[in-house]
Structures are given as C-alpha cells and as structure tokens.
Structure 1
C-alpha cells in the first residue's frame, strides 16, 4: 500500500487549512476530512474549460477569467482550446497553491502558468469580476465545492444574487458564466435564471473516459 505523505500546508484567507499530500505519483489537496482535488481525477475540471470554450463566439481572441487554479487542469485545457491571441486571467486566492504548482507539482503544471496568454492574479476572484465590467467572454468558476461554500464562507457571496449580478456585468454580450460543482443544486439553477441568465446544466464525470463520480457544470449565458 502506498503511504500518503504530507508535503505542505496553507491557510485559506478567512478559512481553514489546506493540506497537500503525495501518494506515489498522485497529489491530493484536502481540507479537514474532505478531499478537494486529486491529480487522478481531472475529467470534470477539463470539461469546464473545453465545454466553455466550445460555447464561445470567437475562441481565437477570447478573454477568459478562471477563478481558482487548483491543480491547473482547467487552465491547461483552456489553453489547448483557445487561439494564440486569447487571454486568460487566473485568480487564485491562496499563494501557496501557485508555489505548489511551481514546486512539487511542476510536472503536473507542465509550464501552463508561463504561457504568454496567461496573467496570474493572487487574490479573490470576486474582486477580479467586480473590476472587469464588460471585459470577459467567459468566467469559469471552480473556487469551492459548488454554490454551497465548503472551503471558505465568503465564497457564498460569489454565488449570491449580488455575486451573479456582478458576474453578468463583467461579461460581454453572449458571454458565458461556467460554474463547477460536486453536486446538482436546483435552488442555484433557479437563482441563475432569476439573475437573467439562459441556463444549461451538464453532468460530467470526475475522471476522463466517462468514469468516476458525477459532477455538475452550469453554463449561464448572457443574452
């Protein structure tokens, strides 16, 4: 049996402690008794990027905001789907996450943070959304376990009526707000519709190849 080795810890601003583990060739990021990310399960995070980019009007020149770097699965998939003149801003609240990406998980990151199309912002994605009125073709959010904040209570604000109004204002006409969740949430679907979005719900598998647990992605379009 492979032993799970603790590599490092990080404190979430306004939240609990994250732990980075390695088990053999796999990496795990956990909070308390909950496993948030596992390098063996990238399917739904990649789908968040691939399916969002497929809904863009001009992927070759699109402007994207990704909330939460995680293990970089969404960023790498977006880079592969977008053209050379696209731009991706990655907002990551916990600086140690980026340290891990450039350190013990550098092989997994595969240099994605150094792509010239990427701008890294250390801070709350809510601030990047609020500052980007009419700027983005898509906003991709994977900052928690879903609309029910697990990692940080303040994340609830992103998914509130006010938070959704801010995201809508930051999108260009035809823009897409894409939100990853570990589980469905009918109340949140109704909240998106009430905010004026055209809503599409898509169930995806946690692992590539259609395996693993079912996760949910909402695609909420402006106009």
Structure 2
C-alpha cells in the first residue's frame, strides 16, 4: 500500500482525538431520522434481492450504521481510518467485525461485496482526489452490487469546503457527485435530499448506485 496522503493522516488523527465525544454525539441519531432509516432499509432490500453478499460500511466510525445494517439482516462489517473509532466499535458491538483501513486502498478481494455504504465518509476527501475512491468501490463490488452514499449537499452551488466540527469537509452538488459515480461505471438507482433538521446546517444528500 502506498503512503497515505496527508488528508488521510489528518482525518484519522482528528477522529482519534474526538472519538469518544463523537460516539456520544451520534448515538441514537438514526432513531430520529425516519427518511435515513427508510433509505438504509431500501439499500438492504436491493442487496438481498441481488443475492446478498457481505456489505462494507466504509468510514464506519463507532459502528452504529454497521449495526443497523446487521439489524436489517445484512452481513455487514465496518472499516475506518481511525484506530480509536475501531476500538470503540469493537467494544460496543463485539459480535460484529471492524477493521482499520482506508477507502482508497481496501484490503478486500475484487468483487467480494454485495454492497458498500459510505455514510458521510467521502466528505473529507478533496474533490480532485475523490475519483479513485469510486474506482475502488467498483473494484470490490460484485457485478450488480450496490453503493449508498450520504453527504452534505451544496444546494446547487459548486463544491464547497466548510468548517466541519472534526476536520474540514466538502459539500457537493448532488448532480456532480452522481456524475463522478457515472464516470466510474455506476448507474444511478435513486437519490434523496432532505432539508436540515434542527441543529444541522446543510441540506443532506443521498445517492443509491448500482455497479455494472
């Protein structure tokens, strides 16, 4: 594996430093957002209808989305850059598999996954460096596998960096992110945008995509 770019090291270090506080902050969050739960349920149903197979949550943090996918009867495991986050996930969900790793160089065989979930985990990648991530997602997905992205939407404007609470992040126009996925060979299945809830600053975007 090549040496990690500086933004990967910075992201891992930043999340290591706030892992416990972050886990407390997001605990129970899915219970408050029925639209997000509905989309995760739809993703699980698509994966199962396509024959199942393991699902990797990339950038899993403390593991809450991985555990939710398990509750949807998906064979889910999690990967994250932050060793401290992975330790917390293993402590909280000892029956699930969690590993330290990077989305741009996954230690996974070609075509081994039925699905990939990147739940706010591509948001810290500089836009000019994001294209190879989609190529890696496609590599590890089986033909017909599904990719679900969650991100901050820019409201139709250009890609925009903002002061995320942990480390700088990017807001994307949903059409531009969909175009990057299309260039990597993915077909769009559906999309959703929801307005910010109380305490959120930005519109939230979701893309459900299918590998060729």
Q: Same fold (TM over 0.5)?
A: yes
Which of 47, 56, 67 matches 2:47? Answer: 56
TM-score (normalised: structure 2): 0.67
Is 1:99 paired with 2:87? yes
Identify the residue that residue 163 of structure 2 maps to in structure 1: none
Q: Deviations over 1:48-69 (max 9, x none)?
A: 6323202114488421111122
Q: Give the 3 Å change call, closer, same or farther, for CA 133–145 of structure 1 in structure 2.
A: closer
Which of 110, 113, 117 matches 1:136? Answer: 113
Identify the residue that residue 192 of structure 2 maps to in structure 1: 202
Greater strand share, structure number: 1
Local SS of the residue matching 2:24: strand
Q: Deviations over 1:113-168 (max 9, x none)?
A: 322xx32211213322x63311111011125363xx2xx65x964x31x3212211
Query: CA RMSD for the aligned pairs?
Result: 3.4
Unaligned regions of 5+ residues in structure 2, if any?
A: 1-7, 154-171
1:98 deviation in Å? 3.0
Unaligned regions of 5+ residues in structure 1, if any?
A: 1-11, 29-37, 104-108
Q: Give the 3 Å change call, closer, same or farther, for CA 74–49 of structure 1 in structure 2.
A: farther
TM-score (normalised: structure 1): 0.64
Q: Deviations over 1:43-96 (max 9, x none)?
A: 3764563232021144884211111222422112100111xxx53231111111
Q: Give the 3 Å change call, closer, same or farther, for CA 119–73 of structure 1 in structure 2.
A: closer
Contact 2:47–2:53 (CA under 8 A) maintained in structure 1: yes
**2: distance between equivalents of 1:58 and 1:65?**
17
Bigger radius of gyration among the two:
1
